[in-house]
């Protein structure tokens, strides 16, 4: 992963081309992992070309499921990753272990594969993205560790609506050796400071919010660099 703000925080924003990626990385002082979402591409080849374009300026590109974290897109993401080695891919928890083994069998370079789960509205419990099974956080983290999962993505957190659940998950994950936690859903300039403040004292390798809708120009599909700068300004100096 890239250099991290306070040796912990990163940001994931979408980039629609090389120029947009360059602009948002600069606006985010380098603490940005640019990404794409699989459902925006008609073919795997088109997505691979976009990843290759973005990788001409950065070592790590994130491939998202798209469709609000639609688990049905897991195989498309995996096929894109095999052909482009982006460095970071999103998967529902249920396919994460398979995806890691599949990448290994295909001889792909090492890549971080996260595991998507959902909040439940109850602190200390999570919901699996596909089966909708509810689990205690501690039980889930032990299973995730057993599968070799390095990072957990919680979505949708709806801004700060599920902040207590996110903090609890992050704290348990950190104590059990999970490298990262990645929240998504409703995160914007108005709540990023509250989220970072709540997580700041937890000793985890990386914490990477995925911030999409609030920063994207609806006309062009590009992430607006000024919005990235505003978000960074909110958390610098914490």
State the residue range of the domain holding 161. Answer: 11-235
Q: Could you give the number of structural domains in the chain?
A: 1
Per-residue pLDDT 10s for the chain (238 aa) are: 568 999 999 999 999 999 999 999 999 999 999 999 999 999 999 999 999 999 999 999 999 999 999 999 999 999 999 999 999 999 999 999 999 999 999 888 889 999 999 999 999 999 999 999 999 999 999 999 999 999 999 999 999 999 999 999 999 999 999 999 999 999 999 999 999 999 999 999 999 999 999 999 999 999 999 999 999 999 998 8
Residue 55 lies in a domain: yes
Residues 6+ apart with CB under 8 A from 87: 59, 60, 61, 62, 111, 112
- Retrieve residue 106's tokens: 């295909």
Residue 3 lies in a domain: no
Residue 6 lies in a domain: no
Residue 168 lies in a domain: yes
Residue 138 lies in a domain: yes
Task: Tell me the backbone φ, ψ of residue 127, rounded to 5 degrees.
Answer: -125, 135
Residue 2 lies in a domain: no
Residue 1 lies in a domain: no
Q: Report the CATH number at residue 193.
A: 3.20.20.70
Quick one: pLDDT at residue 227?
A: 98
Residue 156 lies in a domain: yes
């Amino acid at each position: 992963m890239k250099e991290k703000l306070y040796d912990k925080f990163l940001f994931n924003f979408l980039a629609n081309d090389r120029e947009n990626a360059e602009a948002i990385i600069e606006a985010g002082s380098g603490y940005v992992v640019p990404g794409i979402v699989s459902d925006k591409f008609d073919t795997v080849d088109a997505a691979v070309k976009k990843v290759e374009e973005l990788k001409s300026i950065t070592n790590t590109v994130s491939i998202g499921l798209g469709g609000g974290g639609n688990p049905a897109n897991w195989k498309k993401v995996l096929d894109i990753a095999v052909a482009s080695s982006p460095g970071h891919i999103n998967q529902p928890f249920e396919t994460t272990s398979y995806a890691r083994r599949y990448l290994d069998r295909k001889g792909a370079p090492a890549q971080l594969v996260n595991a998507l789960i959902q909040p439940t509205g109850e602190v200390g419990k999570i919901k699996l993205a596909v089966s909708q099974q509810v689990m205690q956080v501690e039980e889930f983290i032990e299973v995730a560790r057993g599968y070799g999962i390095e990072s957990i993505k919680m979505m949708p957190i709806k801004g700060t609506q599920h902040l207590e659940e996110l903090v609890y998950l992050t704290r348990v994950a950190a104590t059990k050796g999970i490298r990262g936690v990645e929240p998504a859903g409703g995160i914007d300039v108005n709540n990023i400071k509250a989220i970072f403040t709540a997580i700041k004292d937890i000793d985890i390798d990386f914490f990477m919010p995925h911030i999409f809708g609030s920063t994207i120009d609806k006309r062009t599909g590009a992430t607006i660099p000024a919005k990235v700068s505003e978000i960074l300004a909110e958390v610098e100096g914490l």
